[in-house]
Amino acid sequence: MKTFCLNPLIYNERVSSKPANPRRRVKDSVALYERVGDLAAHDLVRSHFHALTRVVASEGGAIVRTIGDAVMATFPTPDRAVAAALRMREAMDKLNQEHETDDLLLKIGIHEGPCLAVMENGRQDYFGRTVNVAARVQDLAVSRGIFATRSVVENPQTSRLLEAKNLRPVVKRTTVQGIAGEIMVYEIP
């Protein structure tokens, strides 16, 4: 089974300049709730999830799970995952304008490959190296950043999509925590 894991998250960039813990999905979410209040923060997070859910579904994907304020989704092809990532970034920009804020910022990592699909607590979930690499690639991104692995970007349909949008991914060779060896990642502007 092949899956295309997209691991977006939101965080509040302005609140803290400390690097985020790799397992945290919202950068200083406590400060966000303190700064704007429980109802306003919850409204922002709920709006974020609704927007991401609509984009994932419209690109033929499915949300696998949410982890705090993060979403892991799967898509039938790499180009659909990239199209979703680009639309998610636009959706967060629009939500920020509507709410007159800049609190909804995405960091997205995309990787493709086989996953272990299991039923847990009555829901299907994915595990394995593909999920781990997608999460680690997402850790490399900064606000509004979309990072993808080589196999995603070099997929012919993805290449055509990026060309049509006049986007030229920037390649980086790097190591990521917990993954053996160097990997090539591409930042999609």
52 to each of 12, 75, 103, how far by Cα in Å? 17, 13, 15
pLDDT score at 81: 92
Superfamily designation of domain 2-188:
Nucleotide cyclase, GGDEF domain (3.30.70.1230)
pLDDT score at 6: 52
pLDDT score at 107: 86
Secondary structure (H, E, C), 40-65? HHHHHHHHHHHHHHHHHHHCCCEEEE
Length of the chain: 189
pLDDT score at 9: 34
Supply the Cα-derived Rg of the chain in whole angstroms: 16
Bigger pLDDT: 26 or 159? 159
Domain ranges of the chain: 2-188
pLDDT score at 29: 67
- Whole-model pTM: value is 0.82
pLDDT score at 4: 53
pLDDT score at 18: 28
- Alpha carbon distance 127, 164 (integer Å): 33
| Dihedral class, residue 122 (left if φ above 0, else alpha if ψ from -120 to 50, else beta) | left
pLDDT, mean of residues 116-122: 83
Q: Does residue 169 register a pLDDT over 90?
A: yes
Tell me the pLDDT tens digit for each residue of 123-167. Answer: 888 888 888 888 888 888 888 889 999 999 999 999 999 999 999
In this prediction, residue 28 has a pLDDT band, given cuts at 50, 70 and 90, of low
Tell me the pLDDT tens digit for each residue of 33-83. Answer: 888 889 988 888 888 889 989 999 999 988 888 777 778 888 888 999 999
